[in-house]
Amino acid sequence: MTTAKHYDLIIVGGGTAGFAAALTANKLQARTLMVNDNAVGFAGTCVNVGCVPTKHLLYVGELVHKITKHNFEGLTSSITFDFSTVMEEKDKLVETLRSKDQLTFEGYSHIDFVAGTATFISKAEVQVAGDRFIANRFIIATGSSANTPLIEGLNKVKYLTNVEALQLKKLPASMIIVGGGALGIEFAQMFSRFGTKVYVLQRADRIIPREESELANLLMLYLQDEGIEIYTKADVNSVKQEGSEKVVTAIIDGKERSWRAEELLIATGRRPNTAKLGLEKLGVALGRKGEIIVNNEMQAAAHVWAAGDVTGEPMLETVAAKEGAIAGTNALAKNGNTERMDYSIVPHAVFTDPQLAGVGLTDEQACERGVQCRYATVSMEHVTKAKLIKDTRGAIKVVIDEETQRIIGVHLLAPQGADLLHEGLMVVRNKMTVDEVAETRHIFPTLSEVTKKAAQALKWDVATMHSCSE
Ligand SMILES: Cc1cc2nc3c(=O)[nH]c(=O)nc-3n(C[C@H](O)[C@H](O)[C@H](O)COP(=O)(O)OP(=O)(O)OC[C@H]3O[C@@H](n4cnc5c(N)ncnc54)[C@H](O)[C@@H]3O)c2cc1C
């Protein structure tokens, strides 16, 4: 074993959170080492096997759908869909973004990088292959991996997670997806629109339980209309391979049912990567799902900070980036100048078509917190632009605090809903009142008018309003 090298800070994990921490450390001119095993690729999950490839492929699926299933009478169209070329193009995009990140990283003059798996061998030392590295402070940003549920026979079949699903060379004729959360539902629509027959088995009584319930149920109807078979309250109890097919059995309302498909995708949540790191040497505490427990300064022990998916929910790129920057700042803070993480306003989205997005409280959450609230639900049918483009799927729900008349939650299901949500994000963040939004002139005709319509619906009946009325 070689002599150990010394650093001010060692960051374990080089995804979004690790990168943000490294950028901060570089600015603060701290001698820093980043260790990343590159198991999912340089720069982590988002670029390689997460946000980037999935949102690209979902958009390809959306184009296929729009070209083949539109309802404009004067247009006839056909399409050639070549799965392997689509996947190759996705790989090129990922490679381009990964290379850009690599170039950016090389510009961090204070950061050394080592590729390999880091394990803590003492409170102040990590080992990577045969090398040892010492530091006074550490940031753990090792991300998360697909959770493997306890299902009989699962360990004997070759199943897919997000990683393998994004590496398929041939389009499967059929696919069973276990898990109807955001990830499972995005893959369901993506493969279904590519031409795969998709079955979703969801244990909860509705899909995407973390999102607004009325809108999630509406999305489920649209997905079913497209031919995706979704089964809720499905308790999957066994999996086996029979010939070229996977057979999955589940109990629904006390009755056993089976499904067969060429591929099986497991999308039952994410597990923080904390096993085999030697964390017991550091004195950090782990939660029920193996996540590192941190305070709002992202600190886990006297000399340890953690950021990103490894600290548990919410597991989002934007959250990981902010947590990483805060962990970097606080790990290197002098004179107690620390920063705190604020989770009060975290926008989120499911990138199906239509997209389901939200910020702030739902009416159910407001009630649970004892807020005297009122809400309006406005269908996209009331938005002129939606009628013009002949796509009136979706609705918006705006929640107000009755006492202050401030908007405390905006949730919507609409084409490009994630982009549309940003008006709601600013409204909630700036604590705007229903009057302020209802009276703000919007461009006509736009889908964004839906936010104003919902504010107006809290005052008047929008169904009876003329499309050009202020
Ligand atoms: C399919 C999918 C789609 C997603 N889509 C979105 C989206 O649209 N929008 C959004 O906001 N979020 C999305 N996410 C979530 C987002 O990708 C994550 O929240 C974010 O990437 C987490 O960043 P991180 O830095 O915590 O972890 P990661 O990016 O996973 O980085 C952790 C790194 O640490 C490495 N590592 C692990 N253990 C060790 C070790 N012992 N030694 C050295 N290195 C190690 C890993 O290999 C990895 O490179 C998606 C996730 C998935 C899986």
pLDDT tens, residue by residue, 23-43: 999 999 999 999 999 999 999
Give distance in angstroms: CA of 377 to centre of ligand 1. 35
Verify whether ligand 1 is closer than 6 Å to residue 186 (CB atom): no
The closest-lying atom of ligand 1 relative to the alpha carbon of residue 309 is: 26
User: What type of residue is 268?
Assistant: T
Q: What is the pLDDT of residues 40-60, one digit of tens each?
A: 999 999 999 999 999 999 999
Query: In the prediction, which pLDDT does 465 show?
Result: 54
**CB neighbour list of residue 10: distance below 8 Å, 6 or more residues apart:** 32, 33, 34, 35, 118, 126, 133, 135, 137, 138, 139
Please tell me whether residue 9 adopts helix, strand or coil conformation: strand
Q: Give the integer Cα–Cα distance in Å for 189 and 58.
A: 8
Q: Which structure tokens are listed for 464?
A: 């009876």
Q: What is the pLDDT of residues 284-311, one digit of tens each?
A: 999 999 999 999 999 999 999 999 999 9
Q: Are 281 and 120 in contact (CB under 8 A)?
A: yes
Give distance in angstroms: CA of 398 to centre of ligand 1. 32
Q: What phi, psi does 67 have (nearest 5°)?
A: -70, -40
Cα dist from 413 to 5, 150, 358, 379, whole Å: 52, 33, 9, 9
- Which residue, judged by its Cα, is nearest atom 53 of ligand 1? 50
The number of beta carbons lying within 10 Å of the beta carbon of residue 133 is: 20
Please tell me whether residue 357 adopts helix, strand or coil conformation: strand
3-state helix, strand, coil in the chain (%, to 5): 35, 25, 40
Q: What is the pLDDT of residues 355-399, one digit of tens each?
A: 999 999 999 999 999 999 999 999 999 999 999 999 999 999 999
Verify whether ligand 1 is closer than 6 Å to residue 147 (CB atom): no
The number of beta carbons lying within 10 Å of the beta carbon of residue 83 is: 17
Cα dist from 349 to 69, 182, 308, 385, 407, whole Å: 24, 8, 18, 22, 19
Verify whether ligand 1 is closer than 6 Å to residue 14 (CB atom): yes
Give distance in angstroms: CA of 424 to centre of ligand 1. 27
Verify whether ligand 1 is closer than 6 Å to residue 448 (CB atom): no
Query: In the prediction, which pLDDT does 384 show?
Result: 97
Verify whether ligand 1 is closer than 6 Å to residue 318 (CB atom): yes
Lowest mean pLDDT among 100-109, 203-212, 223-232, 388-397: 100-109
Give distance in angstroms: CA of 167 to centre of ligand 1. 17
Cα-Cα end-to-end distance for the chain = 74
Verify whether ligand 1 is closer than 6 Å to residue 55 (CB atom): yes
Verify whether ligand 1 is closer than 6 Å to residue 22 (CB atom): no
- What one-character DSSP code corresponds to residue 194? H
Q: Give the integer Cα–Cα distance in Å for 100 and 27.
A: 19
**pTM for this one?**
0.96
Give distance in angstroms: CA of 50 to centre of ligand 1. 7
The closest-lying atom of ligand 1 relative to the alpha carbon of residue 42 is: 49
Q: What is the pLDDT of residues 255-279, one digit of tens each?
A: 999 999 999 999 999 999 999 999 9
Residue 463 has pLDDT above 80, yes or no: no
Residue 470 has pLDDT above 60, yes or no: no
Query: In the prediction, which pLDDT does 3 show?
Result: 83
Give distance in angstroms: CA of 309 to centre of ligand 1. 7
Q: Give the integer Cα–Cα distance in Å for 165 and 184.
A: 11
Alpha-carbon dihedral 89, 92, 97, 101, rounded to 10 degrees:
160
Mean pLDDT, the chain, integer: 96
- Which residue, judged by its Cα, is nearest atom 9 of ligand 1? 51
Verify whether ligand 1 is closer than 6 Å to residue 273 (CB atom): yes
Give distance in angstroms: CA of 330 to centre of ligand 1. 22
- Which residue, judged by its Cα, is nearest atom 33 of ligand 1? 13
Give distance in angstroms: CA of 19 to centre of ligand 1. 11
Verify whether ligand 1 is closer than 6 Å to residue 362 (CB atom): no
Q: What phi, psi does 366 have (nearest 5°)?
A: -60, -45
Verify whether ligand 1 is closer than 6 Å to residue 179 (CB atom): no
- pLDDT bin (cut points 50, 70, 90) of residue 199 is very high
Q: What is the pLDDT of residues 317-339, one digit of tens each?
A: 999 999 999 999 999 998 888 99
- Which residue, judged by its Cα, is nearest atom 1 of ligand 1? 50
Q: Are 190 and 61 in contact (CB under 8 A)?
A: yes
Query: In the prediction, which pLDDT does 455 show?
Result: 96
3-state SS track over 117-152: CEEEEECCEEEECCEEEEEEEEEECCCEEECCCCCE
Pairing label, strands 197-201, 174-178: parallel
Q: What is the pLDDT of residues 170-197, one digit of tens each?
A: 999 999 999 999 999 999 999 999 999 9
Q: What phi, psi does 57 have (nearest 5°)?
A: -70, -35
Verify whether ligand 1 is closer than 6 Å to residue 15 (CB atom): yes
Query: In the prediction, which pLDDT does 464 show?
Result: 57
Residue 82 has pLDDT above 80, yes or no: yes
- What one-character DSSP code corresponds to residue 3? P
Average pLDDT score over residue span 15-27: 97
* Residue (of 93, 9, 86, 12) closest to 46 by Cα position: 93
Average pLDDT score over residue span 73-99: 95
Query: In the prediction, which pLDDT does 460 show?
Result: 81
Give distance in angstroms: CA of 86 to centre of ligand 1. 23
- Which residue, judged by its Cα, is nearest atom 21 of ligand 1? 46
Q: Give the integer Cα–Cα distance in Å for 236 and 159.
A: 14
Give distance in angstroms: CA of 46 to centre of ligand 1. 6
Please identify which residue in the block is written with the tokens 């950016």. Answer: 104
Verify whether ligand 1 is closer than 6 Å to residue 315 (CB atom): yes
